[in-house]
Amino acid sequence: MAIIDELTGVFRQVFGDDELVVTRATTAADVEGWDSLTHVSLMLSIEKRFAIRFKSAQVASLENVGELADLVEALANK
Amino acid sequence: MIRPLAARYPGAAAMTEIVAELLAYVRAKHPRSLAGVEEARRLDPARFDGYADLLVGWAMRALGDRAIARTVDAFALFSSDVNMAQGRYEASGSYEHKSYRGCYEAVYADKATMDDYLWGVYLTNFMWVHHLDISAFFETRFVAKLPARAALIELAPGHGGWGLVAMHRRPDARLDGFDISPSSIEISRALAAAAGLADRARYELRDALDLTSHPAGVADACICNFLVEHLEDPDRLFQVIEHVLAPGGKAFVSGALTAAQVDHIYEFRRESELVLLAERHGMRVLETLSVQPQRTLPRAQFLPRSMSLIVQKRTREHW
């Protein structure tokens, strides 16, 4: 499964929206409720799903889903 | 072409230039942080704007044109760090580090990390909604009641913002600050110079916990915000406060309760723990304020709180 598809599943679970679609270009401004607190829930859920651990500086600087996908891929392949 | 501020932030025409710039930058660069910052401004727009003009104004004089980007980027990083730590705390049930050594290696040893950390914390004084409450409590209930020509000691000033606000409001007072961090001394001195307060606010690189060897009873008042939860042994801090305060002198002390951060060590769970700590060390607790963020993580078992106490050194057994 492509990483964006797997991330979409996590996004839908965290934001409680089964219709939510994310692409590499999606940003916080595009998803209702994606604020600093839901970002934590999202990051912790992604950590669990991919068995990885983010550093704080990494999650703070993410600007869009594409950057998130690249980071997840890099950490998962370590 | 640079778009006018009014186009970059709604309502900008009714704000000062600094506030409009600040909010426009948060919106453009850190949209996930915008809801929390707007929440703080909604609580008390006049006070929020006043602090923004004062604190960011000083930062602009200290850092130049890059001040808003530098401080807001640091604020977003620090806030993200705190939120992630709280999320991990919810899962594990305890703070990540148990010792100063662990925090030193994770945060304090690296100057760039410390600089980011301190500039980030600087803006929380008004950009975190519950800390805006504490700032108001500090000014109205403590600073405004300082005696004439007060001599203040600030223990671990960090960025220096608390003590400098006190000096700004009370032109008759003077302050000596002591911090173990070279970054703290550098930033505090830079802000003091920018605020035109360098002649009355002096900073020395020294572990605040060593001040039991400082002359006793020399301070009319003491400020110590958000040090106590960073210590392995909080009793030592209150021993210092008791030592430096003159009889009847007052201190403003703040700490964090069930609020995780990478360098928080001592886990206070209830407000009474801080009260009892102060009372054990010769203080009468005059006033307290315990505040929390308006939003928390879903299904949180820990409520992150910040608590401030105004205490007075007892002159008799019970008061």
Please answer yes or no on whether B83 and A36 come within 8 Å at the CB atom: yes
Does the pLDDT of residue B5 top 90, yes or no? Answer: no
Q: Are B36 and B79 in contact (CB under 8 A)?
A: yes
Q: What is the pLDDT of residues B72-103, one digit of tens each?
A: 999 999 999 999 999 999 999 999 998 999 99
Task: Please report which confidence band the pLDDT of residue B14 belongs to, taking 50, 70 and 90 as the band edges.
Answer: confident
Q: What is the pLDDT of residues B161-184, one digit of tens each?
A: 999 999 999 999 999 999 999 999
Amino acid A1: pLDDT: 64
Please answer yes or no on whether A60 and B298 come within 8 Å at the CB atom: no
Query: Residue B39, Cα to own-chain centre: how many angstroms?
Result: 19
Burial of B209 (0-12, 13-18, 19+ CB in 10 A): middle
**What was the ipTM of the complex prediction?**
0.90
Amino acid B31: pLDDT: 92
Task: Write the CB contacts of B10 (distance below 8 Å, at least 6 apart in sequence).
Answer: none
Chain A residues in contact with B85 (beta carbon < 8 A): 56
Please answer yes or no on whether B84 and A29 come within 8 Å at the CB atom: no
Amino acid B1: pLDDT: 47
Compute the distance between CA of residue B264 and CA of residue A23 in angstroms, rounded to an integer: 37
Please give, rounded to a whole number of angstroms, the shortest distance from the CA of A46 to a CA of chain B: 13
Overall average pLDDT of the B255-273 stretch: 97
Tell me which chain B residue has its CA closest to the CA of residue A15: B298
Please answer yes or no on whether A36 and B91 come within 8 Å at the CB atom: no
Amino acid B2: pLDDT: 52
Does the pLDDT of residue B112 top 80, yes or no? Answer: yes
Chain A residues in contact with B97 (beta carbon < 8 A): none
Tell me which chain A residue has its CA closest to the CA of residue B32: A35
Does the pLDDT of residue B8 top 80, yes or no? Answer: no
Q: What is the pLDDT of residues A33-66, one digit of tens each?
A: 999 999 999 999 999 999 999 988 899 889 999 9
Burial of B152 (0-12, 13-18, 19+ CB in 10 A): buried
Compute the distance between CA of residue B39 and CA of residue A31 in angstroms, rounded to an integer: 19
Q: What is the pLDDT of residues B178-237, one digit of tens each?
A: 999 999 999 999 999 999 999 999 999 999 999 999 999 999 999 999 999 999 999 999
Q: What is the pLDDT of residues B225-235, one digit of tens each?
A: 999 999 999 99
Please answer yes or no on whether B35 and A35 come within 8 Å at the CB atom: yes
Chains A, B: CB contacts within 8 A come to 54
Please give, rounded to a whole number of angstroms, the shortest distance from the CA of B41 to a CA of chain A: 16
Instruction: Please state the domain extents for chain B.
Output: 6-94, 124-318
Q: Which of A29, A40, A43 sits opposite B31 (nearest CB)?
A: A29
Chain A residues in contact with B84 (beta carbon < 8 A): 40, 43, 54, 56, 59
Task: Please report which confidence band the pLDDT of residue B317 belongs to, taking 50, 70 and 90 as the band edges.
Answer: confident
Q: Which of A36, A41, A57 sits opposite B79 (nearest CB)?
A: A36
Optimal mutation site among A40, A46, A63, interface B, most CBs of chain B within 10 A: A40
Does the pLDDT of residue B3 top 70, yes or no? Answer: no
Overall average pLDDT of the B104-127 stretch: 94
Optimal mutation site among B26, B27, B29, B32, interface A, most CBs of chain A within 10 A: B32
Q: Taking an 8 Å Cβ-Cβ cutoff, which residues of chain B contact chain A?
A: 31-36, 76-77, 79-81, 83-88, 91, 262, 295-298
For chain B, give the mean pLDDT.
Answer: 95
Q: Which of B34, B84, B91 sits opposite A59 (nearest CB)?
A: B84
Nearest to B129, CA basis, from B58, B48, B68, B53:
B48
CATH of B124-318, one of 3.40.630.30, 1.10.287.130, 3.40.50.150, 3.30.365.10: 3.40.50.150
User: Above pLDDT 70, what percent of chain B?
Assistant: 98
For chain A, give the mean pLDDT.
Answer: 93
